Copies of this chain bind each other. A is one copy, B any other.
């Protein structure tokens, strides 16, 4: 159904399949904020010609270990997948691959791309800039996006380690949820439009997000902005137009991907044995009250995915209605009833 909606917008079959796979994978992993709830805004922007329906990457500059690619304002998920595929291919040949992408759009969940590298036996990294919602440390107005970063490490005897975090104190979704439920938020998550600390979730949503741990998250966000935007010549910080409620401007986002071969340093079997031991020791540590045991990054998401494959993905009525409406309009237009 999701794939059919995108082919109904003139997205080529294979690219529509990739976008659908990405969004469903996000839901399976429990990252519902980056799942099929995004179909609506992606379709809107394609139909308004603010995102190209057909994504064609241009390689602007290339070396054996690197590439700068331009996504031609195509779908962010397609641009990012192609860029990481290129980084993986270069790493398999040269040991390491670094790919900077511009002319892209919202690329969903970074974990999708770093997990690709891990499946190829590589350590993967990915970062992306995003529209401004977060103040640098010491500032009271937005500049950075939530500027997430992700890495993945291949594991021989258990799920690959897959880590994905925003550099903000909390995900914006937690504030949205608190606002919906009429709850206060802790001081330190966000500021009001006047730059005041606030416990009021509604005031926080109108205001500005704060970086993780003050100068630490702010410095990480600056690194993300530099790698994603400055290296690729994509717009940075306040020059990035919003994803939502923006009928006029393309986003032209920048991302950065890296993959590296562990056997640059050690034999694959030795590295795998060490990682198995390290993971085993961490997960066997005595747990804090309220934790049933210690989990590795991505372990809970992988468990959720297995559970949801078996029992289905819970989708809100609102998202369900939207998908049915879009499918009726677009899927029918292509004669595609999936």
Contacts and interface: CB of A to CB of B under 8 A. Distances in A.
B278 A139 contact: no
A92 interface: no
Interface in A112-126: 123
A136 B294 contact: yes
B296 A222 contact: yes
Contact of A271 (B96, B191, B230, B291): B230
B215 A213 contact: no
Given A143-B282, A222-B296, A95 B123 contact: no
Contacts of A266: 68, 231-233
A68 B265 contact: yes
B96 A65 contact: yes
B153 A295 contact: no
A223 interface: yes
B195 A282 contact: no
A312 interface: no
A60 to B, nearest CB: 8
A232 B263 CA distance: 10
Q: Is the interface of A mostly helix, strand, loop or mixed?
A: mixed
Interface stretch (A1-9, A28-36, A161-169, A328-336): A161-169
Chain A interface size range: 35 or more
Given A222-B161, A282-B143, A294 B138 contact: yes
Given A195-B289, A212-B212, A66 B265 contact: yes
B143 A285 contact: yes
B231 A262 contact: yes
A212 B138 CA distance: 19
Contacts of A161: 222
A277 B68 CA distance: 21
Interface in A271-303: 271, 274-275, 278, 281-282, 285-289, 291, 293-297
Nearest to A152: B223
A139 B231 contact: no
A257 interface: no
A319 interface: no
A159 interface: no
Contacts of A163: 219, 222-223
A53 to B, nearest CB: 27
A281 B141 contact: no
Nearest to A63: B95
A278 B291 CA distance: 42
B139 A230 contact: no
B294 A139 contact: yes
* Ranked 9 nearest A-B pairs via Cβ: A139-B285, A138-B291, A66-B264, A163-B219, A219-B297, A231-B265, A138-B294, A68-B265, A139-B294
14 contacts: A63-B95, A65-B264, A66-B96, A66-B264, A95-B98, A98-B264, A151-B223, A215-B297, A229-B274, A230-B271, A230-B274, A230-B275, A231-B266, A238-B281
Given A68-B265, A163-B219, 17 more contacts: A65-B65, A65-B95, A68-B266, A123-B227, A135-B288, A136-B294, A137-B295, A138-B291, A140-B286, A151-B223, A153-B226, A163-B223, A165-B215, A222-B282, A226-B275, A230-B271, A237-B278
